[in-house]
């Protein structure tokens, strides 16, 4: 059968490759023509270990093609972004656009899977949208007979940086609008998934995905709050956590400059949005993590007071270690906040995964992107924001005599 994967980003493209590698005929669909061109030539528009070789292989054997037009297919996987709007509700416009592309292609018998992380009820909404757009077809509703088109939610849980491994080995949750929808989705994911496939209803699958990321967010917030308290008490938070984690039932995560990425900093809001009066903890965790970049920036600004004309070097802009993704990155927020507070400061940034400064920093005259070699020797203050391997393994002797602010605890 043929599978159309709508959205060739961090999730869609690896999913398309996984299916194509198992012998399915996969068409990748994206609105971005550059992305489509790249994939059609076997290239990958972003950095993810082992993905490039898999894409060029799948394209090479003719199993994976790419286009801007949604084709007729037996299964459709929607893997488009679901960012949040300024009021922190989900922006479902990309999902809606995908549904509008799929609807005219349906002939009956297809499976439509929503993979995008979505607020509770979105899969049901997708089914309702399809029903409105195609009144000639029977769409699934709980407890009703066999529909013409099956609809399910199969959230992804892969970790950027380990996507190609986790795509295959992670357990998967497949939630159907009806049990039959879940069964259909299971047989599609069975093609490549080696982990357990857990069948459930669509809303439980939606909620499980959100809960996973909220769990991590709350736990990181706990670590970040400990870092604030420890700093206040002049304690080394890493030492405190190391000791506490020797308890058999304690496993505290790592504090850092904040929480970035497109999932953990977003998904908890979808839970808050679904029950605002019942979620003070999840909301507080979000606020603790969102407040961290400002705190780090304020600490750095305070440290500059002891110099006449200091040079500050910030190491890392990516949202986490060893990825090239600078979007939604607390490190970028830290650098921007330092530059806002001290516009005349000589501020150098080192990011081995970037060739240019991101939009938030590019217009600032005193902020420059440099190599570690160029930047560090001149530095008075070195701020470690991302624990890239390159920074971890840096010789400590290069930091001698400098004020060091290590937000990741890698040099302790
Ligand atoms: N972070 C910390 N301290 C930690 C762990 C992480 O400050 O101890 C920070 C990171 O630096 C980063 C952010 O949190 O800024 C998120 O990084 P991450 O590695 O925890 O997660 P993501 O966003 O790359 O991927 C998450 C994963 N979810 C969970 O681990 C529960 C992944 O499995 C999901 O598939 C992904 O979100 C997603 O797409 O939802």
What's the rounded mean pLDDT across residues 360-383? 95
What does the pLDDT read at residue 262?
87
* pTM for the predicted model, two decimal places: 0.94
Q: Answer whether 7's CB lies under 8 Å from 94's CB.
A: yes
Atom of ligand 1 nearest to the CA of 387: 11
Smallest CA separation from ligand 1 atom 10, residue: 320
What does the pLDDT read at residue 88?
87
Q: What's the gap in Å between 266 CA and the centre of ligand 1? A: 11
Question: Is the model's pLDDT at 142 over the cut of 80?
Answer: no
What does the pLDDT read at residue 101?
98
The catalytically annotated residue of 181, 209, 292, 320 is 209
Q: What's the gap in Å between 220 CA and the centre of ligand 1? A: 9
Burial annotation 193-219 (CB, 10 A radius, 16+ → b, else e): beeebebbbbbebbbbbbebbbebbbe
Question: Is the model's pLDDT at 49 over the cut of 80?
Answer: yes
Atom of ligand 1 nearest to the CA of 224: 7
- Asked whether the CA dihedral 188, 190, 194, 195 is positive or negative, the reply is positive
Tokens of 96: 């809606």
- What confidence category does residue 45 fall into, taking pLDDT thresholds of 50, 70 and 90? confident
What does the pLDDT read at residue 132?
97
CA dist 291 → 115, 297, 333, 347, 407 (Å): 30, 10, 10, 22, 14
Atom of ligand 1 nearest to the CA of 170: 33
What percentage of the chain has pLDDT greater than the value 90?
93
Smallest CA separation from ligand 1 atom 34, residue: 157
pLDDT in tens, 261-289: 989 999 999 999 999 999 999 999 999 99
Question: Is the model's pLDDT at 144 over the cut of 90?
Answer: no
Average pLDDT of every residue of the chain: 96
Q: Answer whether 203's CB lies under 8 Å from 167's CB.
A: no
Q: Among this protein's residues, is 314 annotated catalytic?
A: no
Pairwise pLDDT comparison (324 vs 351), residue with the higher score: 351
Question: Is the model's pLDDT at 166 over the cut of 90?
Answer: yes
Q: What's the gap in Å between 318 CA and the centre of ligand 1? A: 13
- Whole-number Å distance between alpha carbons of 237 and 256: 11
pLDDT in tens, 208-248: 999 999 999 999 999 999 999 999 999 999 999 999 999 99
What does the pLDDT read at residue 146?
83
- What confidence category does residue 114 fall into, taking pLDDT thresholds of 50, 70 and 90? very high
- Whole-number Å distance between alpha carbons of 321 and 318: 7
Smallest CA separation from ligand 1 atom 22, residue: 159
What percentage of the chain has pLDDT greater than the value 70?
99
- Whole-number Å distance between alpha carbons of 305 and 310: 9
pLDDT in tens, 291-330: 999 999 999 999 999 999 999 999 999 999 999 999 999 9
What does the pLDDT read at residue 411?
92
Residues in contact with ligand 1 by the CB-under-6-Å rule are 117, 156-160, 212-213, 216, 220, 253-254, 256, 259-261, 263-264, 319-320, 330
Atom of ligand 1 nearest to the CA of 156: 35
| Domains along the sequence of the chain with CATH | 2-195 (3.40.50.720), 214-406 (3.40.50.720)
Q: Among this protein's residues, is 154 annotated catalytic?
A: no
What's the rounded mean pLDDT across residues 85-108? 96
What does the pLDDT read at residue 211?
98
What does the pLDDT read at residue 296?
98
From the list 108, 117, 87, 123, the residue with the least C-alpha distance to 7 is: 117
- What confidence category does residue 143 fall into, taking pLDDT thresholds of 50, 70 and 90? low
Question: Is the model's pLDDT at 9 over the cut of 90?
Answer: yes
């Amino acid at each position: 059968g043929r599978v159309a994967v709508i959205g060739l980003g961090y999730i869609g493209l690896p999913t398309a490759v996984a299916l194509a590698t198992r012998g399915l005929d996969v068409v990748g669909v994206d609105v971005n023509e550059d992305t489509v061109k790249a994939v059609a030539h076997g290239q990958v528009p972003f950095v993810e270990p082992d993905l490039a070789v898999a894409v060029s292989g799948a394209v090479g054997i003719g199993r994976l093609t790419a286009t801007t037009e949604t084709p007729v297919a037996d299964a459709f996987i929607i893997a488009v972004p679901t960012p949040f709007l300024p009021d922190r509700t989900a922006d479902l416009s990309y999902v809606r656009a995908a549904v509008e592309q799929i609807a005219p292609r349906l002939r009956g018998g297809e499976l439509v899977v929503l993979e995008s992380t979505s607020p509770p009820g979105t899969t049901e909404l997708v089914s309702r949208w399809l029903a409105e757009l195609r009144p000639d077809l029977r769409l699934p509703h709980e407890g009703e007979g066999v529909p013409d088109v099956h609809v399910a939610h199969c959230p992804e849980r892969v970790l950027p940086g380990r996507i190609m491994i986790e795509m295959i080995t992670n357990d998967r949750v497949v939630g159907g609008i009806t049990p039959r929808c879940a069964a259909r989705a299971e047989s599609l994911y069975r093609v490549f998934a080696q982990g357990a496939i857990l069948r459930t209803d669509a809303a439980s699958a939606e909620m499980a995905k959100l809960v996973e990321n909220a769990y991590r967010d709350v736990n990181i917030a706990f670590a970040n709050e400990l870092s604030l308290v420890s700093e206040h008490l002049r304690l080394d938070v890493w030492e405190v956590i190391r000791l506490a984690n020797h308890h058999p039932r304690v496993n505290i995560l790592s504090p850092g400059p904040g929480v970035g990425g497109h999932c953990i900093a977003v998904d908890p809001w979808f839970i808050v949005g679904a029950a605002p009066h019942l979620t003070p903890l999840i909301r507080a965790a979000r606020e603790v993590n969102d407040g961290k970049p400002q705190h780090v920036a304020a600490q750095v600004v305070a440290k500059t007071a002891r110099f006449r004309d200091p040079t500050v070097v910030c190491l890392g802009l990516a949202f986490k270690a060893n990825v090239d993704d600078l979007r939604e990155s607390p490190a970028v927020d830290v650098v921007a906040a330092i530059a806002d507070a001290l516009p005349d400061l000589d501020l150098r940034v080192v990011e081995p995964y970037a060739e240019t400064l991101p939009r938030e920093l590019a217009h600032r005259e005193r902020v420059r992107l440099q190599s570690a070699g160029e930047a560090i020797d001149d530095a008075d203050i070195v701020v470690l924001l991302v624990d890239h391997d390159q920074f971890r393994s840096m010789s400590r002797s290069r930091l001698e005599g400098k004020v060091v602010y290590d937000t990741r605890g890698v040099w302790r």
